[in-house]
Amino acid sequence: MQNCEPAPAAFAKSAALVKPAAFTPALFIRDESGQDLIEYVLVAGLIGVGAVTAMTNLGGKLRNVFNAISNSLASS
C-alpha cells in the first residue's frame, strides 16, 4: 500500500511549494497570454451583433411576405 497522507497535510505541502507571483507593471505589460482569448471574444461579439441585426431586418421582411401569402390564401 502506498504512503497516503491525510488530505489537509497533502494540501499544506503543495500550498507551501506555490509562491505568490510578484505583481510588477513591466510583467503585466509584457504578458500577452490572454490577448488571443480577448481577440476571439471580440470577433465572436461582432459576429453576434451582426447576426442579430441581420435577423431583425430579415425578420420584418419575412413577416411581410408570410402575411401577404396568408392574406392571398384567405381571400381566395
Domain locations in the chain as residue ranges:
36-76
Mean per-residue pLDDT, 46-58 = 94
- Best-predicted range by mean pLDDT among 11-15, 51-55, 72-76? 51-55
3-state secondary structure of 22: coil
Q: Identify the pLDDT of residue 27.
A: 65
Residue count of the chain, please give it. Answer: 76
User: What is the reported pLDDT for 65?
Assistant: 93
Q: Which of 24, 28, 5, 8 is nearest to 16 (CA)?
A: 8
C-alpha dist (Å) from residue 58 to 14, 46, 54, 68, 71: 57, 18, 6, 15, 20
CA pair distance 35, 40, nearest whole angstrom: 9
pTM of the model: 0.45
- Three-state DSSP state, 20: coil
Is pLDDT larger for residue 52 or for residue 29? Answer: 52
